[in-house]
Structure 1
Amino acid sequence: MKTTVKALALAASMLLSLSACNANATPSSNEQVKKAFSSRFPTREVLSVSETPVKGVYEVVVKGKQIVYTDAEAKYLFVGDLIDTEAKSSLTEKKMAELNRVNFNKLPFQYAIKEVRGNGARKLAVFTDPDCPYCKQLERESLPDITNVTIYTFLYPLAQLHPDAPHKARQIWCSKDRLATWTAFMRDGKELTGTDKCDTSALDKIEAMGDELGITGTPGLIFGNGRLVPGAIAKDDIEKLLDAK
């Protein structure tokens, strides 16, 4: 998976802002941390503050579903994974899984390219960029042999990384047979030749939705159980997640 400029911007802006300007956490201490953090970083909306197992270190979730860690006064800040070495697990990853859980049935499927395979019983939504090499890897290596699934493809071009991707997304959306055009381009390498002149307001809505869901890279996979997983993961992993409750 690629990390985008959006994901890096949070850490960079906060670290630049640093030049300006107890063990058992209680609701009041969490509020104090929130107040201190907001004072130092007024442009970052704090969604939640909670104690971590590390004494004096707090988890702060800011708008955009980004997690950072700080001391009680927000004087020191770090961005990265907090690892439980005994459990051999990432507390950050666990929290991100909670934050990223999506109500699958509320996705706007009318803006997706729909593909039904077999009985279509299993569900998968994919946020994808037509110029993303990892998206093409997913289409060519991981998805081809998966069946009994309905795949909803949301065109999500990342212009800051791939300047021509929005144009290609519009060409695909404006084609007479979107699924056939998408498949030919992404899986078979066929060039796009059609127009990009049609009502593409759906792509704007997809972009806004992706931002709201905190999707910062492509491909972004959302499974029927609401699990959001980034990257061109392997076929076997997709099969397991499609079957997970």
Structure 2
Amino acid sequence: MKKTILLVSALISTFTFANVDTVKRNLEKNYPDIKIDNLQPTEMKGIYSGFMSGQLVYVNDDAQHLLAGTMVRLKDKENLSKNLLIKQNSIDWNALNLNDAVKIVKGSGTRKIVVFSDPNCPYCKNLEEELKKLKDVTIYTFIVPFKPQSIIPSKQVFCEKNPAQAWTDLISKGIQPSSKATCENPIDRNLALARTIGITGTPSIIFSNGFKVSGAYPAEKIEEIFKEFGL
């Protein structure tokens, strides 16, 4: 009887003290090639969430099972996976200095997005064509010349009489800004901002609730995100 009690106590102790560090050790021991970031416990006992190559996944205590999908709390039908994705991919909108962006208002402009774009990025050009299809939206474009050949024209955009038109001509038609003068511009600040909030590639889109996505999203997908978040 005494041995049984000791065994049960040991098992209880094992489950009680299983935590994120335990899962990390089990992963490193059993599957060292699998890298899961931002591991944290979920509401489901023994299940931990994390991100693998940008995808939300779930792993159990002994790191022998991996799940990808949606976790829903039945009590109130709350989509816990959605909340995790938003939290993982969110930026503080108020931390963005919109005065450093090129502003384009379409229709009422009631919906708002921020775009980080490089004029020589082909995917940025594709996104620009998709953005033209949106209605009633204000688009703030932070020009971030990650490519060396983009630095000079990016700065010259702000020397033009109409920077918004100059940006549209540059990104959509490849028309270089006509001004050869030097002027005050936010390019260095934009690059610093991108580094600060973890944007290392273009294009990236930030919605007004802070949700961030990367890539040349089609207009219909952007509309779906607006609808999903009630923006």
TM range (shorter): 0.5 to 0.7
In the alignment, what sits opposite 1:187? 172
- Match for residue 133 of structure 2 among 145, 157, 161: 145
In the alignment, what sits opposite 1:170? 155
In 2, Cα distance between equivalents of 1:59 and 1:121: 35
Say if 1:110 and 1:25 are closer, same or farther in 2 by CA, change over 3 A: farther
Shift of 1:32: 8.4
In the alignment, what sits opposite 2:27? none
Q: How does 1:108-119 map to 2 (within 5 A)?
A: 108-119=97-108
- CA displacement 1:177-234 (0-9 Å, x = unmatched): 110101111123323342262223x222221221122112111001122210100011
Tell me whether 1:50 sits opposite 2:40 in the alignment.
yes
The RMSD of aligned alpha carbons is: 4.2
Residue aligned with 1:125, SS: strand
In 2, Cα distance between equivalents of 1:192 and 1:82: 51
Residue pair 1:129, 1:135 contacting (<8 A) in 2 also? yes
In 1, Cα distance between equivalents of 2:117 and 2:192: 14
Unaligned runs of 5+ in 1: 1-21, 35-46, 73-80
In the alignment, what sits opposite 1:98? 87
Residue pair 2:114, 2:139 contacting (<8 A) in 1 also? yes
Tell me whether 1:225 sits opposite 2:209 in the alignment.
yes
Runs of 4+ in 1 over 6 A off after TM superposition: 31-34, 55-58, 91-94
In structure 1, what residue type is equivalent to 2:197?
Answer: L
In 2, Cα distance between equivalents of 1:223 and 1:104: 8
Unaligned runs of 5+ in 2: 1-12, 25-36, 73-79
Residue aligned with 1:174, SS: coil
Aligned pairs, how many?
Answer: 197
In structure 2, what residue type is equivalent to 1:98?
Answer: K
Per the normalisation by structure 2, the TM-score is: 0.66
In 2, Cα distance between equivalents of 1:138 and 1:192: 21
In the alignment, what sits opposite 2:30? none
Q: Percent identity?
A: 32
Residue aligned with 1:229, SS: strand
Tell me whether 1:127 sits opposite 2:116 in the alignment.
yes
In the alignment, what sits opposite 1:242? 226
Larger Rg: 2
- Match for residue 211 of structure 1 among 189, 195, 203: 195
Residue pair 1:125, 1:221 contacting (<8 A) in 2 also? yes
Question: Bigger relative contact order, structure 1 or 2, given CA contacts below 8 A and separation 6+?
Answer: 1
In the alignment, what sits opposite 2:29? none
In the alignment, what sits opposite 1:43? none
Per the normalisation by structure 1, the TM-score is: 0.63
In 1, Cα distance between equivalents of 2:105 and 2:99: 15
In 2, Cα distance between equivalents of 1:177 and 1:110: 15
In the alignment, what sits opposite 1:157? 145
